Structure 1
Amino acid sequence: MWSVVMGFWQPVTNLREYISQNPPVVTFFLCLFTLAFSFIYLSYYSYTHTLPNPDKAKDWNYLLSSLSQLQLCVKVNESSSELFSPVPFHLMEQGKDRETLVNFTKTSSVTHLHVKVPLVVTTSSAGGSLKDLGLHTTLRASQLLFGGNEIVNVTLELLSENNTHSCLTISAPKDLLPLSLLPPACPASEKNISFLHVEASDQFSTGSKTCYNLQSKNDPTLTVMLTQEEQSVAVRHLLEVSLWLLGVCFILCLVASFTDSHIHRYHWSGLDQQNEPFINS
Protein backbone atom coordinates (compact mmCIF):
# COMPACT_ATOMS: atom_id res chain seq x y z
CA MET A 1 0.00 0.00 0.00
CA TRP A 2 2.80 2.39 0.96
CA SER A 3 4.64 1.66 -2.29
CA VAL A 4 1.49 2.46 -4.25
CA VAL A 5 1.12 5.77 -2.42
CA MET A 6 4.77 6.64 -2.98
CA GLY A 7 4.33 5.77 -6.62
CA PHE A 8 1.75 8.54 -6.96
CA TRP A 9 3.35 10.95 -4.45
CA GLN A 10 6.75 12.25 -5.51
CA PRO A 11 7.51 15.05 -3.00
CA VAL A 12 11.01 15.91 -4.22
CA THR A 13 9.95 16.11 -7.85
CA ASN A 14 6.80 18.05 -7.00
CA LEU A 15 8.74 20.52 -4.85
CA ARG A 16 11.36 21.05 -7.53
CA GLU A 17 8.80 21.77 -10.22
CA TYR A 18 6.65 23.87 -7.87
CA ILE A 19 9.66 26.05 -7.05
CA SER A 20 10.53 26.55 -10.71
CA GLN A 21 6.95 27.51 -11.62
CA ASN A 22 5.99 29.68 -8.60
CA PRO A 23 8.73 32.26 -7.88
CA PRO A 24 6.45 34.63 -5.86
CA VAL A 25 5.41 31.84 -3.47
CA VAL A 26 9.03 30.76 -3.08
CA THR A 27 10.05 34.34 -2.27
CA PHE A 28 7.30 34.56 0.34
CA PHE A 29 8.44 31.24 1.85
CA LEU A 30 12.07 32.41 2.08
CA CYS A 31 10.98 35.64 3.79
CA LEU A 32 8.99 33.72 6.40
CA PHE A 33 11.84 31.25 6.93
CA THR A 34 14.43 34.02 7.34
CA LEU A 35 12.17 35.94 9.71
CA ALA A 36 11.62 32.83 11.84
CA PHE A 37 15.34 32.20 12.28
CA SER A 38 15.93 35.91 12.94
CA PHE A 39 13.47 35.73 15.83
CA ILE A 40 15.17 32.57 17.11
CA TYR A 41 18.56 34.31 17.10
CA LEU A 42 17.05 37.38 18.75
CA SER A 43 15.53 35.22 21.49
CA TYR A 44 18.91 33.56 22.06
CA TYR A 45 20.61 36.97 22.26
CA SER A 46 17.96 38.23 24.68
CA TYR A 47 18.43 35.13 26.83
CA THR A 48 22.22 35.50 27.06
CA HIS A 49 22.48 39.30 27.36
CA THR A 50 21.05 41.98 29.62
CA LEU A 51 19.00 44.42 27.59
CA PRO A 52 17.97 48.04 28.31
CA ASN A 53 14.36 48.71 29.14
CA PRO A 54 12.74 50.42 26.09
CA ASP A 55 9.89 51.72 28.28
CA LYS A 56 12.37 53.78 30.30
CA ALA A 57 14.53 55.22 27.53
CA LYS A 58 14.60 58.66 29.18
CA ASP A 59 17.13 57.77 31.85
CA TRP A 60 20.03 59.79 33.25
CA ASN A 61 22.14 59.22 30.15
CA TYR A 62 19.33 60.74 28.10
CA LEU A 63 19.06 63.69 30.51
CA LEU A 64 22.81 64.37 30.46
CA SER A 65 22.93 64.02 26.68
CA SER A 66 20.12 66.58 26.33
CA LEU A 67 21.92 68.89 28.74
CA SER A 68 25.14 68.62 26.73
CA GLN A 69 23.30 69.90 23.65
CA LEU A 70 22.95 73.29 25.35
CA GLN A 71 25.52 76.06 25.59
CA LEU A 72 25.74 78.06 28.80
CA CYS A 73 26.68 81.70 28.25
CA VAL A 74 27.12 84.57 30.67
CA LYS A 75 24.43 87.22 30.37
CA VAL A 76 25.35 90.32 28.41
CA ASN A 77 24.71 92.63 31.36
CA GLU A 78 26.85 90.52 33.69
CA SER A 79 30.57 89.98 33.89
CA SER A 80 32.61 87.14 35.25
CA SER A 81 33.24 89.18 38.39
CA GLU A 82 29.54 89.33 39.24
CA LEU A 83 29.29 86.00 40.97
CA PHE A 84 26.82 84.79 43.55
CA SER A 85 26.15 81.76 45.72
CA PRO A 86 22.80 80.09 45.06
CA VAL A 87 21.00 78.32 47.86
CA PRO A 88 21.33 74.61 47.13
CA PHE A 89 18.30 72.36 46.92
CA HIS A 90 15.84 75.23 46.66
CA LEU A 91 14.04 76.61 43.65
CA MET A 92 15.06 80.13 42.72
CA GLU A 93 12.53 82.77 41.79
CA GLN A 94 13.90 85.03 39.12
CA GLY A 95 12.52 87.60 36.70
CA LYS A 96 9.54 86.77 34.59
CA ASP A 97 9.54 83.11 35.64
CA ARG A 98 8.74 83.99 39.26
CA GLU A 99 4.95 83.88 39.03
CA THR A 100 4.97 80.69 36.96
CA LEU A 101 7.44 79.06 39.33
CA VAL A 102 5.46 79.91 42.48
CA ASN A 103 2.21 78.63 40.97
CA PHE A 104 3.90 75.46 39.81
CA THR A 105 5.34 74.56 43.21
CA LYS A 106 1.89 74.82 44.71
CA THR A 107 0.39 72.23 42.38
CA SER A 108 3.19 69.71 41.98
CA SER A 109 5.87 68.21 44.20
CA VAL A 110 9.45 69.15 43.37
CA THR A 111 12.46 66.86 43.66
CA HIS A 112 15.92 68.14 44.58
CA LEU A 113 18.95 66.01 43.73
CA HIS A 114 22.68 66.53 44.29
CA VAL A 115 24.50 63.82 42.31
CA LYS A 116 27.85 63.09 40.70
CA VAL A 117 27.47 62.72 36.93
CA PRO A 118 29.84 62.07 33.96
CA LEU A 119 29.64 65.62 32.65
CA VAL A 120 32.65 67.69 31.58
CA VAL A 121 32.56 71.49 31.36
CA THR A 122 34.75 73.25 28.81
CA THR A 123 35.07 76.84 27.67
CA SER A 124 36.23 78.36 24.41
CA SER A 125 37.01 81.74 25.98
CA ALA A 126 40.69 82.55 26.33
CA GLY A 127 40.35 84.09 29.77
CA GLY A 128 37.74 81.70 31.11
CA SER A 129 38.97 79.74 34.11
CA LEU A 130 37.22 76.63 35.38
CA LYS A 131 38.97 76.48 38.74
CA ASP A 132 36.61 76.66 41.74
CA LEU A 133 33.76 77.70 39.48
CA GLY A 134 30.11 76.72 39.44
CA LEU A 135 27.38 77.43 36.91
CA HIS A 136 23.71 78.00 37.59
CA THR A 137 20.86 78.30 35.11
CA THR A 138 17.08 78.13 35.01
CA LEU A 139 15.50 76.53 31.97
CA ARG A 140 12.35 74.88 30.70
CA ALA A 141 11.84 71.12 30.71
CA SER A 142 11.24 71.26 26.95
CA GLN A 143 14.87 72.32 26.47
CA LEU A 144 15.88 68.97 27.98
CA LEU A 145 13.27 67.13 25.88
CA PHE A 146 11.65 65.96 29.11
CA GLY A 147 8.39 67.89 29.21
CA GLY A 148 6.75 71.21 28.49
CA ASN A 149 7.05 74.56 30.26
CA GLU A 150 7.95 73.20 33.69
CA ILE A 151 10.80 75.03 35.43
CA VAL A 152 14.07 73.16 35.96
CA ASN A 153 16.93 74.65 38.01
CA VAL A 154 20.40 73.31 37.27
CA THR A 155 23.63 74.00 39.16
CA LEU A 156 26.98 72.52 38.15
CA GLU A 157 29.99 72.36 40.46
CA LEU A 158 33.32 71.50 38.88
CA LEU A 159 35.23 69.03 41.03
CA SER A 160 38.51 69.99 39.33
CA GLU A 161 39.63 71.40 36.00
CA ASN A 162 40.64 68.01 34.59
CA ASN A 163 37.95 65.86 36.20
CA THR A 164 35.61 63.79 34.05
CA HIS A 165 32.73 64.22 36.51
CA SER A 166 30.81 67.17 37.90
CA CYS A 167 28.41 67.70 40.76
CA LEU A 168 24.93 68.36 39.45
CA THR A 169 22.23 69.93 41.60
CA ILE A 170 18.88 69.76 39.85
CA SER A 171 15.43 70.82 41.02
CA ALA A 172 12.47 69.73 38.92
CA PRO A 173 8.98 68.25 39.21
CA LYS A 174 9.08 64.72 40.54
CA ASP A 175 7.41 63.17 37.50
CA LEU A 176 10.05 64.60 35.13
CA LEU A 177 13.24 63.20 36.62
CA PRO A 178 14.27 59.54 36.16
CA LEU A 179 14.18 58.30 39.75
CA SER A 180 14.33 54.53 39.19
CA LEU A 181 18.13 54.53 38.87
CA LEU A 182 20.08 57.45 40.34
CA PRO A 183 23.75 58.45 39.99
CA PRO A 184 25.86 58.38 43.16
CA ALA A 185 25.54 61.25 45.60
CA CYS A 186 28.05 64.01 45.16
CA PRO A 187 30.43 64.47 48.11
CA ALA A 188 30.25 67.70 50.05
CA SER A 189 32.83 70.20 48.86
CA GLU A 190 34.88 72.24 51.31
CA LYS A 191 36.09 74.61 48.60
CA ASN A 192 34.82 78.14 48.35
CA ILE A 193 33.11 77.81 44.97
CA SER A 194 31.75 80.92 43.27
CA PHE A 195 28.66 80.39 41.17
CA LEU A 196 28.04 82.24 37.94
CA HIS A 197 24.56 82.70 36.51
CA VAL A 198 24.39 81.69 32.85
CA GLU A 199 21.73 81.36 30.16
CA ALA A 200 21.11 78.05 28.40
CA SER A 201 20.64 78.04 24.64
CA ASP A 202 20.61 75.38 21.93
CA GLN A 203 22.17 77.85 19.48
CA PHE A 204 25.90 78.09 19.93
CA SER A 205 27.20 81.62 20.24
CA THR A 206 30.11 82.88 18.16
CA GLY A 207 30.37 86.31 19.77
CA SER A 208 32.62 87.66 22.48
CA LYS A 209 30.51 86.34 25.36
CA THR A 210 32.00 83.88 27.80
CA CYS A 211 30.33 80.54 27.10
CA TYR A 212 30.66 77.06 28.52
CA ASN A 213 30.06 73.79 26.69
CA LEU A 214 29.06 70.49 28.25
CA GLN A 215 30.22 67.04 27.21
CA SER A 216 28.48 63.93 28.51
CA LYS A 217 29.69 60.35 28.43
CA ASN A 218 27.31 57.41 28.32
CA ASP A 219 27.45 55.51 31.61
CA PRO A 220 26.10 51.92 31.41
CA THR A 221 25.42 51.93 35.15
CA LEU A 222 22.80 54.66 34.62
CA THR A 223 20.85 52.70 32.00
CA VAL A 224 17.68 51.01 33.24
CA MET A 225 17.80 47.33 32.26
CA LEU A 226 15.06 44.75 31.85
CA THR A 227 14.47 42.48 34.81
CA GLN A 228 15.00 38.73 34.50
CA GLU A 229 11.25 38.16 34.47
CA GLU A 230 10.70 40.73 31.71
CA GLN A 231 13.45 39.17 29.58
CA SER A 232 11.95 35.70 30.06
CA VAL A 233 8.58 36.95 28.81
CA ALA A 234 10.23 38.55 25.76
CA VAL A 235 12.18 35.37 24.95
CA ARG A 236 9.05 33.23 25.25
CA HIS A 237 7.08 35.49 22.91
CA LEU A 238 9.89 35.49 20.34
CA LEU A 239 10.06 31.69 20.39
CA GLU A 240 6.28 31.39 20.05
CA VAL A 241 6.29 33.63 16.97
CA SER A 242 9.26 31.71 15.52
CA LEU A 243 7.51 28.36 15.93
CA TRP A 244 4.35 29.75 14.36
CA LEU A 245 6.31 31.00 11.33
CA LEU A 246 8.12 27.67 10.98
CA GLY A 247 4.73 25.93 11.12
CA VAL A 248 3.49 28.08 8.24
CA CYS A 249 6.64 27.22 6.28
CA PHE A 250 6.09 23.51 6.92
CA ILE A 251 2.48 23.73 5.70
CA LEU A 252 3.60 25.51 2.52
CA CYS A 253 6.18 22.78 1.86
CA LEU A 254 3.61 20.07 2.51
CA VAL A 255 1.08 21.62 0.14
CA ALA A 256 3.73 22.08 -2.54
CA SER A 257 4.89 18.46 -2.20
CA PHE A 258 1.33 17.20 -2.82
CA THR A 259 0.83 19.47 -5.82
CA ASP A 260 1.38 17.61 -9.08
CA SER A 261 2.63 20.22 -11.50
CA HIS A 262 2.05 17.90 -14.50
CA ILE A 263 -1.69 17.88 -13.86
CA HIS A 264 -1.76 21.68 -13.70
CA ARG A 265 0.35 21.91 -16.83
CA TYR A 266 -1.95 19.59 -18.79
CA HIS A 267 -4.99 21.36 -17.37
CA TRP A 268 -3.78 24.75 -18.54
CA SER A 269 -2.73 23.30 -21.91
CA GLY A 270 -6.25 21.94 -22.38
CA LEU A 271 -7.72 25.32 -21.58
CA ASP A 272 -5.42 26.98 -24.07
CA GLN A 273 -6.48 24.55 -26.80
CA GLN A 274 -10.14 25.19 -26.03
CA ASN A 275 -9.60 28.93 -26.22
CA GLU A 276 -7.73 28.86 -29.54
CA PRO A 277 -10.89 28.74 -31.77
CA PHE A 278 -12.32 31.75 -29.95
CA ILE A 279 -9.08 33.64 -30.35
CA ASN A 280 -8.74 32.74 -34.03
CA SER A 281 -12.35 33.64 -34.76
Structure 2
Amino acid sequence: MRMRIDEQYRSRWRGPSPLRPQPRPDLRLGGPQRQVGGAGPTTGERIAVTHTVRTTIAEYTLLFNAPDWLGRRGVGAALRDAVAELRAIDLAYGPNRPESLVSRLRRGEVSPESYPPLADLVDRCTAMRAATDGWFDAWAVPGGFDPGGLLGGWAVERAAARLRAGGIHDYAVLTGADLVVRGHAAHGGPWRVSVHHPTDRRQAPLVLEMTAGAIGTSGVTGRRGHVVDPHTGEPADQFIAATVVGPDLAVADAYATALYAAGPAGLVWFHSGTDYRVLHAHRR
Protein backbone atom coordinates (compact mmCIF):
# COMPACT_ATOMS: atom_id res chain seq x y z
CA MET A 1 0.00 0.00 0.00
CA ARG A 2 1.31 3.43 -0.92
CA MET A 3 0.68 6.88 0.50
CA ARG A 4 1.97 10.19 -0.81
CA ILE A 5 2.18 13.24 1.46
CA ASP A 6 2.92 16.59 -0.13
CA GLU A 7 3.73 19.96 1.41
CA GLN A 8 0.05 20.49 2.35
CA TYR A 9 -0.15 16.98 3.88
CA ARG A 10 -2.83 15.79 1.45
CA SER A 11 -2.69 12.01 1.04
CA ARG A 12 -3.49 9.39 -1.56
CA TRP A 13 -3.50 5.64 -1.07
CA ARG A 14 -2.92 3.00 -3.71
CA GLY A 15 -2.18 -0.67 -3.55
CA PRO A 16 1.00 -2.25 -4.93
CA SER A 17 0.71 -3.29 -8.55
CA PRO A 18 2.10 -6.66 -9.71
CA LEU A 19 2.89 -4.99 -13.05
CA ARG A 20 4.82 -2.06 -11.56
CA PRO A 21 8.15 -2.72 -9.82
CA GLN A 22 8.15 -1.31 -6.31
CA PRO A 23 11.11 1.01 -5.63
CA ARG A 24 13.35 0.27 -2.69
CA PRO A 25 12.43 2.31 0.41
CA ASP A 26 14.90 4.88 1.67
CA LEU A 27 13.85 4.38 5.31
CA ARG A 28 12.19 1.56 7.22
CA LEU A 29 10.24 1.86 10.46
CA GLY A 30 8.71 -0.78 12.70
CA GLY A 31 9.30 -4.44 13.35
CA PRO A 32 11.94 -5.60 15.83
CA GLN A 33 14.10 -2.54 15.18
CA ARG A 34 14.30 0.57 13.04
CA GLN A 35 16.32 0.06 9.90
CA VAL A 36 17.67 2.60 7.44
CA GLY A 37 17.47 1.49 3.86
CA GLY A 38 19.91 2.19 1.04
CA ALA A 39 20.16 5.76 -0.15
CA GLY A 40 20.16 4.90 -3.84
CA PRO A 41 22.01 6.83 -6.53
CA THR A 42 22.62 10.54 -6.10
CA THR A 43 21.48 13.10 -8.63
CA GLY A 44 23.58 16.14 -9.46
CA GLU A 45 26.32 17.45 -7.22
CA ARG A 46 25.34 16.49 -3.66
CA ILE A 47 27.14 15.69 -0.40
CA ALA A 48 25.53 12.74 1.42
CA VAL A 49 25.90 12.37 5.20
CA THR A 50 24.71 9.81 7.77
CA HIS A 51 25.48 10.44 11.44
CA THR A 52 24.22 8.86 14.68
CA VAL A 53 24.30 10.48 18.12
CA ARG A 54 23.19 8.98 21.42
CA THR A 55 21.97 10.91 24.46
CA THR A 56 20.21 9.87 27.68
CA ILE A 57 16.89 10.73 26.00
CA ALA A 58 17.30 8.71 22.80
CA GLU A 59 19.53 7.69 19.92
CA TYR A 60 19.17 9.83 16.80
CA THR A 61 20.23 9.25 13.21
CA LEU A 62 20.58 12.18 10.84
CA LEU A 63 20.65 11.58 7.08
CA PHE A 64 20.87 14.37 4.57
CA ASN A 65 22.15 15.31 1.16
CA ALA A 66 23.46 18.83 0.79
CA PRO A 67 24.19 20.90 -2.30
CA ASP A 68 27.81 20.78 -3.36
CA TRP A 69 28.12 24.57 -3.19
CA LEU A 70 27.67 24.40 0.59
CA GLY A 71 31.02 22.64 0.80
CA ARG A 72 32.36 20.20 3.35
CA ARG A 73 32.96 22.99 5.84
CA GLY A 74 29.37 24.24 5.61
CA VAL A 75 27.98 20.71 5.84
CA GLY A 76 30.15 19.98 8.89
CA ALA A 77 29.01 23.18 10.60
CA ALA A 78 25.32 22.37 10.01
CA LEU A 79 25.79 18.85 11.36
CA ARG A 80 27.66 20.09 14.43
CA ASP A 81 24.88 22.60 15.17
CA ALA A 82 22.19 19.90 14.93
CA VAL A 83 24.14 17.48 17.14
CA ALA A 84 24.88 20.27 19.63
CA GLU A 85 21.14 21.01 19.84
CA LEU A 86 20.34 17.36 20.62
CA ARG A 87 23.03 17.22 23.32
CA ALA A 88 21.94 20.56 24.79
CA ILE A 89 18.32 19.35 25.02
CA ASP A 90 19.52 16.22 26.79
CA LEU A 91 21.45 18.28 29.35
CA ALA A 92 18.83 20.98 29.83
CA TYR A 93 15.59 18.98 29.65
CA GLY A 94 16.38 15.30 30.24
CA PRO A 95 13.88 14.12 32.91
CA ASN A 96 16.45 11.68 34.34
CA ARG A 97 19.06 14.39 34.96
CA PRO A 98 18.71 15.80 38.51
CA GLU A 99 19.90 19.27 37.49
CA SER A 100 17.95 19.58 34.25
CA LEU A 101 15.33 22.31 33.96
CA VAL A 102 12.60 19.67 33.94
CA SER A 103 13.85 18.23 37.24
CA ARG A 104 14.21 21.72 38.72
CA LEU A 105 10.67 22.55 37.58
CA ARG A 106 9.39 19.49 39.40
CA ARG A 107 11.08 20.66 42.57
CA GLY A 108 9.64 24.16 42.21
CA GLU A 109 13.06 25.79 41.76
CA VAL A 110 12.26 27.42 38.40
CA SER A 111 9.19 28.55 36.50
CA PRO A 112 8.60 27.84 32.81
CA GLU A 113 8.53 31.56 32.04
CA SER A 114 12.17 31.88 33.07
CA TYR A 115 13.34 29.86 30.04
CA PRO A 116 11.48 30.27 26.71
CA PRO A 117 12.25 26.73 25.42
CA LEU A 118 10.99 25.26 28.71
CA ALA A 119 7.84 27.37 28.39
CA ASP A 120 7.37 26.04 24.85
CA LEU A 121 7.76 22.45 26.08
CA VAL A 122 5.24 22.96 28.88
CA ASP A 123 2.81 24.73 26.54
CA ARG A 124 3.00 21.83 24.08
CA CYS A 125 2.26 19.33 26.83
CA THR A 126 -0.68 21.45 27.98
CA ALA A 127 -2.05 21.68 24.43
CA MET A 128 -1.75 17.94 23.88
CA ARG A 129 -3.49 17.20 27.18
CA ALA A 130 -6.43 19.26 25.92
CA ALA A 131 -6.34 17.78 22.40
CA THR A 132 -6.44 14.19 23.71
CA ASP A 133 -9.07 14.61 26.44
CA GLY A 134 -6.40 14.11 29.08
CA TRP A 135 -5.01 10.86 27.66
CA PHE A 136 -1.66 12.56 27.12
CA ASP A 137 -0.89 14.04 30.51
CA ALA A 138 2.70 14.97 31.34
CA TRP A 139 1.65 15.70 34.92
CA ALA A 140 -0.03 12.34 35.64
CA VAL A 141 3.25 10.52 36.28
CA PRO A 142 5.21 9.69 39.44
CA GLY A 143 7.39 12.60 40.46
CA GLY A 144 5.40 15.24 38.65
CA PHE A 145 5.92 16.80 35.23
CA ASP A 146 7.53 14.48 32.67
CA PRO A 147 7.38 15.51 28.98
CA GLY A 148 8.92 12.21 27.81
CA GLY A 149 5.96 11.39 25.55
CA LEU A 150 6.90 14.21 23.20
CA LEU A 151 10.41 15.23 24.27
CA GLY A 152 12.18 13.10 21.67
CA GLY A 153 10.02 14.50 18.87
CA TRP A 154 10.53 18.04 20.15
CA ALA A 155 14.31 17.47 20.14
CA VAL A 156 14.20 16.14 16.57
CA GLU A 157 12.22 19.14 15.33
CA ARG A 158 14.68 21.57 16.95
CA ALA A 159 17.66 19.69 15.47
CA ALA A 160 15.95 19.75 12.06
CA ALA A 161 15.55 23.53 12.38
CA ARG A 162 19.32 23.75 12.93
CA LEU A 163 19.92 21.81 9.71
CA ARG A 164 17.68 24.19 7.78
CA ALA A 165 19.42 27.20 9.28
CA GLY A 166 22.71 25.72 8.07
CA GLY A 167 21.46 25.37 4.48
CA ILE A 168 20.36 21.71 4.62
CA HIS A 169 16.84 21.27 3.21
CA ASP A 170 16.86 17.59 2.18
CA TYR A 171 17.07 15.47 5.32
CA ALA A 172 15.63 12.75 7.53
CA VAL A 173 16.08 12.62 11.30
CA LEU A 174 15.11 9.39 13.04
CA THR A 175 14.80 8.25 16.62
CA GLY A 176 13.47 4.80 17.44
CA ALA A 177 10.37 4.27 15.30
CA ASP A 178 9.85 8.02 14.82
CA LEU A 179 11.12 10.32 12.10
CA VAL A 180 10.95 13.72 10.44
CA VAL A 181 11.70 14.20 6.75
CA ARG A 182 11.92 17.20 4.46
CA GLY A 183 12.84 17.75 0.85
CA HIS A 184 14.12 14.89 -1.25
CA ALA A 185 16.20 11.77 -0.82
CA ALA A 186 19.56 11.31 -2.53
CA HIS A 187 17.93 9.79 -5.64
CA GLY A 188 16.09 13.07 -6.25
CA GLY A 189 12.57 11.90 -5.44
CA PRO A 190 10.48 12.06 -2.24
CA TRP A 191 11.66 10.09 0.76
CA ARG A 192 10.17 6.59 0.54
CA VAL A 193 9.33 5.38 4.05
CA SER A 194 8.30 1.77 4.66
CA VAL A 195 6.21 1.43 7.85
CA HIS A 196 6.04 -2.18 9.03
CA HIS A 197 3.56 -3.88 11.33
CA PRO A 198 5.12 -3.93 14.81
CA THR A 199 4.79 -7.69 15.37
CA ASP A 200 3.51 -9.43 12.22
CA ARG A 201 6.31 -9.45 9.67
CA ARG A 202 4.06 -11.27 7.18
CA GLN A 203 1.94 -8.18 6.61
CA ALA A 204 2.93 -5.95 3.72
CA PRO A 205 4.25 -2.58 4.96
CA LEU A 206 2.68 0.75 4.22
CA VAL A 207 4.90 2.82 1.93
CA LEU A 208 4.74 6.60 2.20
CA GLU A 209 6.31 9.08 -0.19
CA MET A 210 7.09 12.22 1.81
CA THR A 211 8.65 15.59 1.12
CA ALA A 212 7.64 17.04 4.51
CA GLY A 213 6.17 15.51 7.65
CA ALA A 214 6.65 13.26 10.63
CA ILE A 215 5.76 9.80 11.88
CA GLY A 216 5.34 9.13 15.61
CA THR A 217 4.93 5.67 17.13
CA SER A 218 4.13 4.32 20.57
CA GLY A 219 4.43 0.67 21.57
CA VAL A 220 6.39 -0.52 18.56
CA THR A 221 8.13 -3.23 20.58
CA GLY A 222 4.85 -4.67 21.80
CA ARG A 223 6.16 -4.39 25.38
CA ARG A 224 3.45 -4.01 28.00
CA GLY A 225 3.49 -1.44 30.78
CA HIS A 226 5.60 1.33 29.23
CA VAL A 227 2.56 3.61 28.73
CA VAL A 228 0.23 4.26 31.66
CA ASP A 229 -3.45 5.17 31.58
CA PRO A 230 -3.28 8.69 33.13
CA HIS A 231 -6.82 8.34 34.51
CA THR A 232 -6.21 5.14 36.48
CA GLY A 233 -2.42 4.84 36.78
CA GLU A 234 -2.62 1.31 35.35
CA PRO A 235 -0.57 0.14 32.34
CA ALA A 236 -2.34 0.61 29.01
CA ASP A 237 -3.06 -2.73 27.36
CA GLN A 238 -5.57 -2.30 24.52
CA PHE A 239 -3.18 -1.69 21.62
CA ILE A 240 0.06 -3.36 20.56
CA ALA A 241 1.17 -0.13 18.89
CA ALA A 242 -0.13 3.17 17.54
CA THR A 243 1.43 5.15 14.69
CA VAL A 244 0.43 8.69 13.72
CA VAL A 245 1.58 10.81 10.77
CA GLY A 246 1.41 14.60 10.47
CA PRO A 247 3.39 17.84 10.14
CA ASP A 248 5.19 17.97 13.53
CA LEU A 249 6.89 15.06 15.31
CA ALA A 250 6.32 16.32 18.85
CA VAL A 251 2.57 16.43 18.20
CA ALA A 252 2.52 13.12 16.31
CA ASP A 253 4.48 11.50 19.15
CA ALA A 254 2.07 12.81 21.77
CA TYR A 255 -0.94 11.69 19.76
CA ALA A 256 0.56 8.20 19.34
CA THR A 257 1.25 7.93 23.08
CA ALA A 258 -2.27 9.10 23.94
CA LEU A 259 -3.88 6.79 21.38
CA TYR A 260 -1.92 3.85 22.73
CA ALA A 261 -3.23 4.69 26.21
CA ALA A 262 -6.84 5.41 25.19
CA GLY A 263 -7.37 2.53 22.78
CA PRO A 264 -10.15 2.75 20.15
CA ALA A 265 -11.80 5.68 21.96
CA GLY A 266 -8.89 7.88 20.82
CA LEU A 267 -9.67 7.43 17.12
CA VAL A 268 -12.24 10.25 17.36
CA TRP A 269 -9.37 12.78 17.60
CA PHE A 270 -8.41 12.20 13.97
CA HIS A 271 -11.25 13.87 12.08
CA SER A 272 -11.21 15.62 8.71
CA GLY A 273 -10.24 18.95 10.27
CA THR A 274 -6.90 17.79 11.64
CA ASP A 275 -3.55 17.47 9.86
CA TYR A 276 -2.81 14.23 11.76
CA ARG A 277 -3.98 10.75 10.87
CA VAL A 278 -3.57 7.20 12.13
CA LEU A 279 -1.43 4.76 10.15
CA HIS A 280 -1.51 1.86 12.60
CA ALA A 281 -3.60 1.14 15.69
CA HIS A 282 -3.36 -2.58 16.43
CA ARG A 283 -5.37 -4.31 19.14
CA ARG A 284 -3.78 -6.99 21.25
- Considering fraction of residues, name the structure with more strand: 2
Higher RCO (CA-CA < 8 Å; seq separation 6+): 1
Q: Which bin holds the TM-score, normalised by the shorter protein?
A: under 0.3
Larger Rg: 1
